[in-house]
Amino acid sequence: MAAGSAVDWREGLDAGDLSSEALVRGGLDRIRRLDGQLHAVLASDEDQSLQLARQADARLRSGERTPVLGLPIVLKDNLHWSGLQVSCGSRILDGYRAPYNATVVERLLAAGAVPIAKANLDEFAMGSSGEYSAFEATRNPWNLDLVPGGSSSGSVVAVAGGYAPLALGSDTGGSVRLPASFCNVTALRPTYGVLSRYGLTAMASSLDQVGPIAASAADIALALGVMAGLDPRDSTSVKLPGVDRLDQLHPGNLRGLRIGLPREYFGEGIETGVQNLLDAAIQVFKDHGALIQEVSLPHTRYAIDTYYLICTSEVSSNLSRFDGVRFGQRTAGGTLPEMIAQSRNQGLGAEVKRRILLGAFCLSKGYYDAFYMKALKARTLITQDFNQAFEQVDVLATPVSPGTAFPFGAKTDDPMAMYLADVFTVTAPLAGIPCLCMPVGLSSGLPVGLQLIGPALSDVMLLETAHAFQSIIQHHLATPPLPA
């Protein structure tokens, strides 16, 4: 059984027309049949998933109802699900199993959701294409010769490929939004702090956020409402206003909605087919009463440099824990420093090493002020740009990527070209504000996404706006050419 809408399955489960066990068995069967081609899954525990599904069915029969009770979900393999592996797509964590649940996983389990698999990813979530997993690279279900986007490649492909109606990824600089654009699904990067990072393996702590993925904004709302909330184990967690509107998401009112188009995002370099679809989507908003105006985010030109200086610096600090001493792979060496060096050399991939070295350089004596501190100042200016823009408009609409999915190997030899794939997605994380990717059609048979960006804690409004669009134009219902 291919995954359908989470909202539709929710209604079927509540009415007794569907069972969680049947849905979970269908998802597991689809993984067995398709994942030899797609490589979206790194691990699963079928017995535990089926046991959780039976428990969910018993809760449903007793009359209990929650937004996600009985729904299958896939988890990115940098999130802790107790008892299962947490590989982060890396060899250095071979053999490591989660001793506890991440907060978001804990809350989903308490509400009766049923995890069915751990999803593939770029190693330690470092990548824009899905090519940097230490295991088999995930394939784009729309064209197996093209990248799915990264780093949450497996989570997005699990939804696009029909394994489950919901998935969790993580987004540091675009890691749920870019693959969502390439694979025709909807993905949300919440306001920083809305979803607890406890149990999410840290990459760049001031930028990382858990991101829900589904076919539609209404589906995402079901999971977000369950997961959001203060967490004493994450000092950066914040309360999300309007959570009560997520259980049954209603379309937002587009009439009078002020939508800003940042001039810095609509210049040269965007593929013609992508630009045409973005223009058509913006016209839909306009035809339904939205007010469209140009705005400026003048410090956008510094965003890529700022993001990668901050990100690599935090990566260098966070990944120092993976040393072969406490957990994961250990390579024999004559002395402790030799053992640590050999463990890291054999356990970490080239892109991870590159970012660790860049970050160590940025933080080194004599360069800290010139690079890292200057990047923090630029981050403040980028945040101020957004604050000023939101004094004029309610939401921003931008591209997610300059183009559609590209072939494997097209950018791996040029790290800068790969980093520039994030040019439209890194700015909002620097400001800690929510952003969403939703499908707006196909260009030469390949999906294209539109990004909506809102002010801090406007997550519910963003979902309502996307839901209004998806109630009018249903590009999100297009599915890739895979077996039924």
397 within 8 A of 293, measured Cβ to Cβ: no
Cα–Cα nearest to 342, from 331, 327, 356: 331
Q: How far, in Å, CA of 62 to CA of 46, rounded?
A: 24
Q: How far, in Å, CA of 415 to CA of 128, rounded?
A: 10
Cα–Cα nearest to 154, from 144, 165, 168: 168
Q: How far, in Å, CA of 95 to CA of 159, rounded?
A: 27
Q: How far, in Å, CA of 287 to CA of 264, rounded?
A: 24
Which residues have C-beta within 8 Å of that of residue 124, sequence separation ≥ 6?
78, 88, 89, 90, 201, 203, 315, 319, 352
Q: How far, in Å, CA of 41 to CA of 418, rounded?
A: 24
Q: Active-site residue 20, yes or no?
A: no
Q: What are the E-state strand segments in 190-251?
A: 209-214
Q: Given strand 72-76, what is the order of strands in its sheet?
A: 41-43, 114-119, 72-76, 166-171, 209-214, 186-189, 435-443, 446-453, 395-399, 258-262, 291-295
166 within 8 A of 214, measured Cβ to Cβ: yes
Catalytic site residue from 76, 118, 181, 216: 76
- DSSP one-letter code for 140: B
What tokens appear for 242 in the block? 């309007």
Q: How far, in Å, CA of 347 to CA of 364, rounded?
A: 24
Catalytic site residue from 151, 196, 313, 343: 151
217 within 8 A of 474, measured Cβ to Cβ: no
Q: Active-site residue 317, yes or no?
A: no
Cα–Cα nearest to 357, from 415, 417, 421: 415
Q: Active-site residue 76, yes or no?
A: yes
Chain CA centroid to CA 30, Å: 22
- 181, 183, 185, 191 alpha-carbon torsion, rounded to 10°: -40
42 backbone dihedrals φ, ψ, rounded to 5°: -105, -30
Could you give the residue numbers annotated as active site?
76, 151, 175
